[in-house]
Every structure is written in C-alpha cells, then in structure tokens.
Amino acid sequence: MGVTARTIQLARDLRASIDALLNSLTRRLTAGWVDAWDRLTRRFSGALRSLLDSVGGRWPSRRDIARSAPLAAALNAAEAEHDLLVGELRAQGTAAARAAASAASTSQAGIIRSQLPTGAPKPVTRAAETEIEAIARRAADRIAALSDPLTPGMRQALQRELVRGINRGADPEQIAAGIVRRLEAQFHTGLERSLLIANTEVMDAYREAALVFRLANGNVLRGWMWVARCDAHTCPACWAMHGSEHPVDEAGPYDHPNGRCISVPLTRTWRELGFDMPEPRGEVPNAEAAFRSLSRDAQLSVMGPSRLAAYERGTAWADLATRRENPGWRPSYVPTPVHQLT
Ligand SMILES: [Zn+2]
C-alpha cells in the first residue's frame, strides 16, 4: 500500500510549512531591494540632472559620464547597497535552508508512521543536529558561490545603461527619469537572481535532509514518491514526474530552478516488514487523470497550445519531462521541448 489519506495530509502540511518559509524569505528580500532602490533613486536622479545641466541638452559622452563625481558616488552607493543585500541573501537564505532541513527531518517520521500499522517500530525520528548543520553549511557555500558575481554584474549593467543613454525628449527631468527607470530594472535583476538562488537552495536543503532521513530508515522504506503541487502553475515536467517512485538512496526531487516539488517517503509492504495482517489498499496518485480533469484553460496554462496539441495527438505522459545534466550544478527535470515531442 503505502500512501494513505493521512500521508497525503501530512505531505500537504509539510509543503505548506515550506511554502510559508519561502514566501516570508521572498517578502523580506524583496522589501530590502525596494527600500534600497528608493534611496538610490534620489541619488541617481540628482546626479543625472546635474550632469545633464553641465553638458547642455545632449546626452553626455562616455567621458563626461566617467568624470561625473556625483554619478560615481551614486554608483558606489548602489554597489554598497547591493553588497548589503547580497549579505542579507546569504544570511537569510542560509537560515531558511537550515529551517527547511529541520522541518524535513521532523516531518518525515510522521509521514512514515502514517503508512505503517499500529505497533510498528518507530522510525528514527529526526536527523542529528550535526547533519542539519552540515546541510546548512553546504547551502551557505552554494549561495555564496552563486551570489558572488551579482554585485559586479549589477555595476556593469548600470554603467552600460548610462553609456547607452537616451535619444529623445529635450526635458532633462524626463530624460533623467527615463534613465533612472532603466537603472532600476537592472538593479532589480539582482533581486530576481537572488530569489531564484534562495528558493532553489532552500528546497535542496529540504531534499538533502529528507535523503539523510531516508538513509537512516532504509530498513522500513522502499523508496520515495515525487510530489508536485499539480495546479495551473505547475510546469509540464513536474506534472509528469508527480507520483513517480524512486529508490531510497536517490536524491531529489531534482526539479528545475525555483521548483517546489517535494519527496514523500514510501514504506515497504506490511508483509515485508513482518506484519501478518491485511494491508489497506494505498492511494496511488494519478497525475495524468488529475491533469485531464483540469479545465481547458488550466490545461493550456500548464502546457501551452502546441505541447497540449502534441499530448492530445498521443505523446506519452512520461515523455513530457526530460532529465538534463547541468555542468556545475545537479541534474534537473525540465519540460521536454515541444519540437522533440512526437
Ligand atoms: Zn516544474
């Protein structure tokens, strides 16, 4: 059997607690970025207005831009703010990764018990503190390495925008405002990148802790099941992987960056565990049936028109996901490109 209604409920609770963790991390990082840009807007607007006044009407040359002291000061301020934000990403991302690892390890025992008869030996309840710490440390290292290029990249992007300049409108106020909007867009790419790093690393910390837990309970487990959210916002790859079974020692679920799929441990049969009693039939999630029961709009939002058409012409459900090897990172399951679907 395996999965019971109680198992599904516990998996939902676990997902909700991880979602809450990630949503609060996202809110805090976003607020930091927005506040920082509020402060920087004034500096850049002032610096650009005084530069435009000094050159009179035309867009300043690369040389004018390089020699403007207020602009250099604004760029330095942007760099300093960005460094602080990257520091926040590292500190808060690591704390969230530690919390996710901890939540994974405390939730797994209940999920296992929900599949076993009363009287079964209790699973090892949680991973050791040292293991959680090791997972948090690895997350910290990965977040640090991935966020290292962010600030230099941001500074270069701002400089590129400044040199590119703007070609229309005579009013210096408007010209300055237009440039500041473009600078803002560049500055905020750092936020998008940070959220991607934080979300992905926090989920991977959860997954690592779940793996450690499975290995400690290998005697009662037969594997784990890939569980996706399965709604209109879930991608075709995660839909296709939902419900798939994997060996105990296989790490995962390896979904794409920003993915939030979770693993649910599956126990061996009662007979295999030495219980001579009838075992209730488990609930096996059928992702394909669930997908077919979605509204047409939701199906289109998941797959897009061409992929949905390919699926309806007979593409096998499992072929919607493709494993991709990523140099320098773990493998990931991504939606199979439409042109590869038969
Ligand atoms: Zn996905």
Residue 220 contacts residue 241 (beta carbons within 8 Å): no
**Bridge partners of residue 223, in order along the sequence:** 266
105 alpha carbon to ligand 1 midpoint, in Å?
A: 23
| CA proximity to 95, closest of 195, 188, 22 | 22
Compute how many other C-beta atoms are within 10 angstroms of the C-beta atom of residue 135. Answer: 26
Distance, in Å, from the CA atom of 228 to the CA atom of 293, rounded to the nearest integer, reads 16
Q: What is the pLDDT of residue 235?
A: 95
236 alpha carbon to ligand 1 midpoint, in Å?
A: 7
Q: Where are the alpha helices (DSSP H) in the chain?
A: 5-55, 62-67, 69-113, 129-147, 150-164, 172-216, 236-241, 287-292, 296-303, 305-313
Please report, in angstroms and rounded to a whole number, the separation of the first and last CA atoms in the chain: 34
Distance, in Å, from the CA atom of 29 to the CA atom of 260, rounded to the nearest integer, reads 18
pTM of the model: 0.87
Residue 138 contacts residue 66 (beta carbons within 8 Å): no
304 alpha carbon to ligand 1 midpoint, in Å?
A: 14
Residue 262 contacts residue 108 (beta carbons within 8 Å): no
Non-local (6+) Cβ contacts of 152 within 8 A are none
User: Which residues of the chain carry a pLDDT beneath 50?
Assistant: none
243 alpha carbon to ligand 1 midpoint, in Å?
A: 14
Distance, in Å, from the CA atom of 71 to the CA atom of 67, rounded to the nearest integer, reads 8
335 alpha carbon to ligand 1 midpoint, in Å?
A: 8
277 alpha carbon to ligand 1 midpoint, in Å?
A: 39
330 alpha carbon to ligand 1 midpoint, in Å?
A: 15
332 alpha carbon to ligand 1 midpoint, in Å?
A: 10
Q: What is the pLDDT of residue 239?
A: 96
271 alpha carbon to ligand 1 midpoint, in Å?
A: 36
41 alpha carbon to ligand 1 midpoint, in Å?
A: 36
pLDDT tens digits, 278-317: 787 777 778 999 999 999 999 999 999 999 999 999 999 9
133 alpha carbon to ligand 1 midpoint, in Å?
A: 28
Q: What is the pLDDT of residue 110?
A: 87
Q: What is the pLDDT of residue 168?
A: 61
230 alpha carbon to ligand 1 midpoint, in Å?
A: 9
193 alpha carbon to ligand 1 midpoint, in Å?
A: 18
Q: What is the pLDDT of residue 126?
A: 62
81 alpha carbon to ligand 1 midpoint, in Å?
A: 33
Q: What is the pLDDT of residue 127?
A: 63
Distance, in Å, from the CA atom of 311 to the CA atom of 291, rounded to the nearest integer, reads 11
Distance, in Å, from the CA atom of 198 to the CA atom of 238, rounded to the nearest integer, reads 20
